[in-house]
Structures are given as C-alpha cells and as structure tokens.
Amino acid sequence: MAKNRLTTEEFKNGILAGEKSVLSRAITLVESKSVVDRKQANELVNSILPFIGKSFRLGITGAPGVGKSTFIDGFGDFLLKKGKKVAVLAIDPSSKISGGSILGDKTRMEKLVGQPNVFIRPSPAGLELGGVAQSTLESILLCEAASYDFVVVETVGVGQSETAVKEMTDMLLFLTIAGAGDDLQGIKRGIMEMIDLVVINKSDQIEKEILGKVKSNFAQALHLFPPRAAKPNVDILSCSALNSTGFDEIWQFILDYQAKLSANGFFEENRKAQKISWMNRSLIHLVENHIQNNDNLKANVQKFETMVSDNQLSPLDAAFQIFQLLNLV
Amino acid sequence: MAKNRLTTEEFKNGILAGEKSVLSRAITLVESKSVVDRKQANELVNSILPFIGKSFRLGITGAPGVGKSTFIDGFGDFLLKKGKKVAVLAIDPSSKISGGSILGDKTRMEKLVGQPNVFIRPSPAGLELGGVAQSTLESILLCEAASYDFVVVETVGVGQSETAVKEMTDMLLFLTIAGAGDDLQGIKRGIMEMIDLVVINKSDQIEKEILGKVKSNFAQALHLFPPRAAKPNVDILSCSALNSTGFDEIWQFILDYQAKLSANGFFEENRKAQKISWMNRSLIHLVENHIQNNDNLKANVQKFETMVSDNQLSPLDAAFQIFQLLNLV
C-alpha cells in the first residue's frame, strides 16, 4: 500500500461501484499487518457494513485431488449463467509453505477467469491460519459490498481451516470422490458434523454400483447424527464438475436450504451468532498476540509451560500468575 | 471452609496418607470461589504435584438412561477385586438445575458405597461448566495424590462437557444401549471422534442379532475416521453392568490401551499437552471473568455485541476496541 494510497472514501465508492481493481486493493489492505493499513482497514470495513448481508456464502472443503478448483470453475460458471455474480476466496494457510495456493494458479479456473461477473482471490501467503481466516472474513464483507451474490470460500483443509470456513459461511459443501473400495475418501475427524451437503465428484468415472455404495455409506454415517431442526437434512449428491453434470440438483438443494433458513429465521440468527463469535475469538487472538509480542510475558509463559509440563506448577495456578502479569485494570 | 481450617501442610499430609475425610475437604476447597480458599487451593495443588501421575484416568460418557451409574458401580467393583483403588468424580453442570447430580444419589452405587478403597464425589452444584471442569481437574490431581489407581470421571453430556472430560482423562469410554431399531442411541455431534471405546450396556436384554447389527453400525461409523497411529483402534464391546458380564473384555482393552500408549510415549505426551491446554484455557477463562466482573467493561462488550449484530461495527474492530479498553501493559 505504498504510493497512490486511496482514501477510505475512494475505497468505499470503488467497491460499491463494483470496481474489481479497487476491491482487490481493499483486500490487500485488510490482509496487511501494518498498523496504518490496519487502521484504514477497520475504517473501510465499518464504512461498508451498511451494504452487506445480501450474498450467499458457500464454503467448500475436500481433500486435495477431489477436484475443488474444477468444481468451483464449473459450478461458478453454472451460477454465472443463472445471472449471479460470483466471488471466490480461499483459506489456505499452507500457501506459505508451497509458495502459492491452489487458487494462486488461476489458470485452473478456465471458465471463470476473465469473466466480468467473477472475482477470484487467492489466499494470502505468509499468514498463519488465524490471520488468513480474519482477512478472509473481511474479504467476504468487501465482496458482499461489491454486490457479489455468491461468495465461495474454499479451504484445502489444513488444520482447523474447515472450522474457520464453517464459521464464516452459510452452508458447507463437502466435495469428495469415490475411492477404490467402499471407503469414504478424505474425511477428517470432526468434519462430518459440520457438513450441510456432500457432493461426490467425478461421478462419470465410477460405476453406478460403487457410487450407490458410497452414497449409502455416507447416508449411514450421517444417520448417526441427530436430525437437524433448523436446517434441511444433509443430502448426498453427485456430479461431474468437468462435464458440468449434476449441478441442477446442487442448485436446487441450495435454493431449498436458503428458503428454509430464511423462513425460520436461522439464516439471520446464524450470521449474528457468527459475528459475535468472531468478535470474541478476535479478542482472544489479540490477547494471545499481545503476549507473544511482549518479550517479558512470552518468556514467562514459556517458563510456566515448562513448569506445568514438569509438574512443578498446576495449570490453573500458572494461568493465574500469567493473568496477574497482564496487569489488567 | 469456616472453622477448623486445615493448614496446607495438614491437607497435604492427610491426602498423601489417603484419609478420605481430608481428601473430601480438599475437594471442597478447590471448588470454592472465595479468594482465600482459592489461594490455599493453589498452594495445596502445587504441593501435591510431585505425587501425581500414577493413576489411570477413565472418562465415561453416555446419554441419560444407558446405565452409567450402574456401569461405574459394577465395573468399579470389578476393579476393586483386581486390587485397585477407585475414585469416581462427575462433571455435571446441570446439577445446578436439578439440585443434585446423578452421583449425588450415591445409593445408586450400592456396591461401591462404603468400600474402603473407593472415593465417590458428586459434581458441585451452582457452577457453570468451566468452573465444574476446573475443579474436577484439580480433584483428579488430589485423588491421584491420595493413591487412587483409577480415577473415573463421569459426565452426563450436557453442553461441551464431553470435551472437558476428554481433555482431562487418558481414555474416553462411550456407554450406550441398543435401541428398538438399528439406530445408535445417544450419539451427539462431535462425540464420535473423541471415543476410545464403545460399550453397549444391557446386552442381556437384547437379541444377539440386534446387538450384532448395532455393533456393525458403530464399526461402520468409526471406519469413516482415519486409523489412529498412537492409539489402538476403537473397539466395540458389550456388557451387562447389572449382571457384571463383559467386564473382562473391557479390562483387557484398557490394559492393551495403557500398554500401547506407555510404550510409544503418547501417554505422557498427551498428559503434558493436556496440562498446557488447561493453562491456556484457564487464562482465557480468567480474562473473560475479568470482563464479566468489571461493570464498565461488561457494559462496553454488550454495547459492542449489539453494534456488531446490527452491522454498525465489524467484529474485528469491536474486538480491537475491547482489547484497548483492557489497557494491557
């Protein structure tokens, strides 16, 4: 954000006018760690808040290799043809390791790249999960202000990134493929209960019998969880993202899901609860950062951790002593 | 803790000598919210830390009606006959509502009550989950110092209480019964992945065929999760707690589990990680309490929550403003 810095007003007007270059620079602003940028980012996000809340936020997760990019490309194109504006964001804390996220290679979304009603933004490199998640949350808000109807948030599923995506989207889609046998590919502990829709991709490449078996396995697994009162039951659909088949059923599920959650008030309720959670989590994050950035506090915490590990100090007493060092008024 | 207050040294010596009345009073001390008691509780817990770490901590969860009390009574008696000392604690934040936890009705553990090598402690009433969990963690440490070989921690599964039990025990046993059909009774979202052993109780009351079907459903559900490297695979056993059948297999699983986790170092590693987590969680808890106990801060947080809900302020900016009010040095 060196020269030609836009004023907050210029940012806001550009975003509301749907100017992609301004939106892009605004996202760079919210991703910045500099104090000056952060201050303007807060101002900007607050200024666009009256204009948000009109998009549908779709989270997409799944193991590497199931075809998430191809799916987003194909289904995004399907949404475009329905007259929707589509933004694609990514939560990928591993991008700092690989030097580039999956979405960094934008050529993998051939149908979407270059389309006027599409905005694609790769995950920022060099941030840990907490930072990526925070900037993605703010990026969603900016995209909403820029009138994108669908904000697709993709995660590659590193660490707790699915939880982060779940907590900032309206619906979580789990993309998978049928494996060699009847096992479920790519399921991670704790994911199952967060899923709103299962989609088995590359359905054209597997026999109907195997597809049926995989669907029935998922159905049985999902059957273990109590029925959901506020939301439609989890469905298990299939598609071939490459051949653009199966998208109609996914679209219908999303419409039904939206309709039910809007009618029973859970859509708004969930968004409010998400915002309060984000506030509380951010506060904890700030306190943790404060400790990590203060050499004296950090050294004390490390000392206490060692003592607690070695049974020299109880965990609760150690916490109390750190709390006292924080010297809260 | 009014008159005849014991000194910390007297508490310590009584606990190490295995005096139940002193152990009981010590647990009352760690459950107390008074500042004076809390100070002595910290001293006491720190003083007994060199004597802990020799017990096996067994968490037990399951829906109401599956027979948890009967199971603990029967299996506790089985452990007693193996020459073990058994302590039973409960995490039951609902006791403040019902005015008494399940364990409060100690007569339900007919075999254990009054036995010299048994210590039973109901959940404290009038505390929220965080408080119950903290005092239970310290109670475990006190029981270990009093040479109990098995510390059984029971939860009735209210709110996040299973997570709390999981995070303070070495192994989590999920007790269930076979329902009318092939559905799995009492499974809660997010529990499945925390379970180390499934035990189907009241196996004498169901047909073998149904029992087999329930076991196979559980096996299939567990099969969805990736195999566990550090721990033995989850097993699905059955028992009749009332008739004391099936306990040998459960005992054998515990022995194998202990042996594997001791050999690969995960037992110690897990306990260390649990202690650090407790320290960090307790610190967050203290900061949250600080905010709740400060009228000015509390009012501000409520104001920010409303503004965030109504899209007048971004969650991250609200967190930043609360953080500034904390005035950390």
pLDDT digit string, tens, across residues B16-27: 999 999 999 999
pLDDT band of residue A289 (cuts 50, 70, 90) is confident
Is the Cβ–Cβ distance between B191 and B168 less than 8 Å?
no
Asked whether residue A273 is domain-assigned, the answer is: no
Asked whether residue B162 is domain-assigned, the answer is: yes
Question: Range of A16's domain?
Answer: 1-51
State whether A85 and A229 are in the same domain.
yes
Asked whether residue B16 is domain-assigned, the answer is: yes
Task: Provide the CATH number for the domain around residue A37.
Answer: 1.20.5.170
B contact test, residue of A316, A322, A325, A329 with most B CBs within 10 A: A316
Å from A169 to nearest chain B CA?
A: 15
State whether B28 and B82 are in the same domain.
no
Q: Quote the pLDDT of residue B170.
A: 97
Is the Cβ–Cβ distance between B42 and A314 less than 8 Å?
yes
pLDDT of residue A204 exceeding 50, the answer is yes
Are A141 and B279 within 8 A, CB to CB?
A: no
Q: Does A304 touch chain B if contact means CB atoms closer than 8 Å?
A: yes
pLDDT of residue A41 exceeding 80, the answer is yes
In this prediction, residues A103-124 reach a mean pLDDT of 81
Q: Which residue of A has its CA nearest to B30?
A: A316
Q: Is B92 left (phi over 0), alpha (psi -120 to 50) or beta?
A: beta
Is the Cβ–Cβ distance between A197 and A250 less than 8 Å?
yes
State whether A63 and A115 are in the same domain.
yes
pLDDT band of residue B292 (cuts 50, 70, 90) is confident
Q: Does B315 touch chain A if contact means CB atoms closer than 8 Å?
A: yes
Q: Which residue of B has its CA nearest to A279?
A: B315
Are A42 and B323 within 8 A, CB to CB?
A: no
Q: Which residues of B are less than 8 Å from A131 in CB distance?
A: none
Q: Quote the pLDDT of residue B76.
A: 97
Q: Does A107 touch chain B if contact means CB atoms closer than 8 Å?
A: no
Q: Does A298 touch chain B if contact means CB atoms closer than 8 Å?
A: no
Per-residue 3-state assignment (H helix, E strand, C coil) for chain A: CCCCCCCHHHHHHHHHCCCHHHHHHHHHHHHCCCHHHHHHHHHHHHHHHHHCCCCEEEEEECCCCCCHHHHHHHHHHHHHHCCCCEEEEEECCCHHHHCCCHHHCHHHCCCCCCCCCEEECCCCCCCCHHHHHHHHHHHHHHHHHCCCCEEEEEECCCCCHHHHHHCCCCEEEEEEEECCCCCECCCCCCCHHHCCEEEEECHHHCCHHHHHHHHHHHHHHHHCCCCCCCCCCCEEEECECCCCECHHHHHHHHHHHHHHHHHCCHHHHHHHHHHHHHHHHHHHHHHHHHHHCCHHHHHHHHHHHHHHHCCCCCHHHHHHHHHHHHCCC
- List strands edge to edge, sheet with B235-238: B118-121, B86-91, B150-155, B56-61, B171-177, B197-201, B235-238
State whether B133 and B202 are in the same domain.
yes
Asked whether residue A269 is domain-assigned, the answer is: no
User: Which pair of structure tokens corresponds to residue B264?
Assistant: 């690969």
Single out the residue in A216, A238, A263 at which a domain terminates: A263
Print burial letters for A189-204: b (CB count within 10 Å at least 16), e (below 16).
ebbbbbbbbbbbbbbe
**CA–CA separation, B103 vs B95, rounded Å?**
10
Task: Please state the φ and ψ torsions of residue A327, each to the nearest 5 degrees.
Answer: 55, 50
Of B189, B311, B312, the CB nearest to A193: B189
State whether B36 and B82 are in the same domain.
no
Single out the residue in B264, B286, B307 at which a domain terminates: B264
Q: Which residue of A has its CA nearest to B133?
A: A316
Q: Quote the pLDDT of residue A150.
A: 97
Q: Is B65 left (phi over 0), alpha (psi -120 to 50) or beta?
A: left
Q: Which residues of A are less than 8 Å from B304 in CB distance?
A: 279
State whether A143 and A24 are in the same domain.
no
Q: Quote the pLDDT of residue B74.
A: 97
Q: Does A280 touch chain B if contact means CB atoms closer than 8 Å?
A: yes
Q: Quote the pLDDT of residue A189.
A: 60
pLDDT of residue B98 exceeding 50, the answer is no
Higher-pLDDT residue of A209, B101: A209
Task: Provide the CATH number for the domain around residue B156.
Answer: 3.40.50.300
State whether B47 and B57 are in the same domain.
no
Q: Which residue of A has its CA nearest to B296?
A: A329
Task: Please state the φ and ψ torsions of residue B98, each to the nearest 5 degrees.
Answer: -80, -15
Å from A77 to nearest chain B CA?
A: 31
Single out the residue in A210, A238, A263 at which a domain terminates: A263
Q: Which residues of A are less than 8 Å from B326 in CB distance?
A: 287, 328-329
Residues 126-155 of A with CB under 8 A from B: 134, 137-138, 141
pLDDT of residue B290 exceeding 60, the answer is yes
A248-251 contacts, C-beta under 8 A, 24 or more apart: A250/A75, A250/A173, A250/A197, A250/A199, A251/A78, A251/A79, A251/A82
State whether A43 and A56 are in the same domain.
no
State whether A193 and A318 are in the same domain.
no
Q: Does B39 touch chain A if contact means CB atoms closer than 8 Å?
A: no
**CA–CA separation, B67 vs B85, rounded Å?**
22
pLDDT of residue B104 exceeding 70, the answer is no
Asked whether residue B270 is domain-assigned, the answer is: no
Are B224 and A221 within 8 A, CB to CB?
A: yes
Are A189 and B193 within 8 A, CB to CB?
A: yes
Q: Quote the pLDDT of residue A190.
A: 67
Per mean pLDDT, which range of B52-61, B154-163, B237-246 is the poorest? Answer: B154-163
The 10s digit of each residue's pLDDT in A131-189 is: 778 889 999 999 999 999 999 999 877 667 888 899 999 999 999 888 644 455 456 66
State whether B184 and B285 are in the same domain.
no
Is the Cβ–Cβ distance between B58 and B68 less than 8 Å?
no
pLDDT band of residue A43 (cuts 50, 70, 90) is very high
Q: Which residues of B are less than 8 Å from A141 in CB distance?
A: 314
Output the average pLDDT for chain B. Answer: 87
B139 by Cβ neighbours in 10 Å (0-12 / 13-18 / 19+) ranks as buried
Q: Which residues of B are less than 8 Å from A326 in CB distance?
A: 287, 328-329
Higher-pLDDT residue of B192, A74: A74
Asked whether residue B213 is domain-assigned, the answer is: yes
Are B319 and A286 within 8 A, CB to CB?
A: yes
Are B225 and A187 within 8 A, CB to CB?
A: yes
pLDDT band of residue B103 (cuts 50, 70, 90) is very low
Q: Quote the pLDDT of residue B1.
A: 47
Give ∠ CA A45-A49-A55 in degrees, rounded to 5: 110
The 10s digit of each residue's pLDDT in A211-261 is: 888 888 788 777 766 677 789 889 999 999 999 999 999 999 999 999 999
State whether A225 and A257 are in the same domain.
yes
Q: Which residues of B are less than 8 Å from A327 in CB distance?
A: 328-329
Higher-pLDDT residue of B96, A121: A121
In this prediction, residues B62-91 reach a mean pLDDT of 93
Q: Quote the pLDDT of residue B63.
A: 80
Higher-pLDDT residue of B62, B306: B306
Per mean pLDDT, which range of A29-33, A300-304, B41-45 is the poorest? Answer: A29-33
Of A224, A225, A279, the CB nearest to B304: A279
In this prediction, residues B250-269 reach a mean pLDDT of 95
State whether A7 and A68 are in the same domain.
no
Amino acid at B249: E
CA dihedral B56, B61, B67, B71 (to 10 degrees): -10
Residues 6+ apart with CB under 8 A from A37: A1, A29
Q: Quote the pLDDT of residue B158.
A: 67
DSSP B232: P
Asked whether residue A187 is domain-assigned, the answer is: yes
Nearest Cα residue to A119 out of A183, A181, A174, A55: A55
Q: Total domain count for chain B? A: 3
Asked whether residue B302 is domain-assigned, the answer is: yes
pLDDT of residue A99 exceeding 50, the answer is no
In this prediction, residues B69-76 reach a mean pLDDT of 96
In this prediction, residues B261-285 reach a mean pLDDT of 92
Q: Quote the pLDDT of residue B153.
A: 95
pLDDT band of residue B267 (cuts 50, 70, 90) is very high
Å from B212 to nearest chain A CA?
A: 16
Are A279 and B328 within 8 A, CB to CB?
A: no
Are A278 and B183 within 8 A, CB to CB?
A: no
Of B46, B278, B283, the CB nearest to A322: B283
Q: How close are the terminal C-alpha atoms of chain B, in Å?
A: 36
Q: Quote the pLDDT of residue A169.
A: 96
Q: Does B229 touch chain A if contact means CB atoms closer than 8 Å?
A: no
Output the average pLDDT for chain A. Answer: 87
Q: How many CA atoms lie within 13 A of B94 on its CB side?
A: 13
Are B187 and A225 within 8 A, CB to CB?
A: yes
Q: Which residues of A are less than 8 Å from B47 in CB distance?
A: none
**CA–CA separation, A72 vs A88, rounded Å?**
8
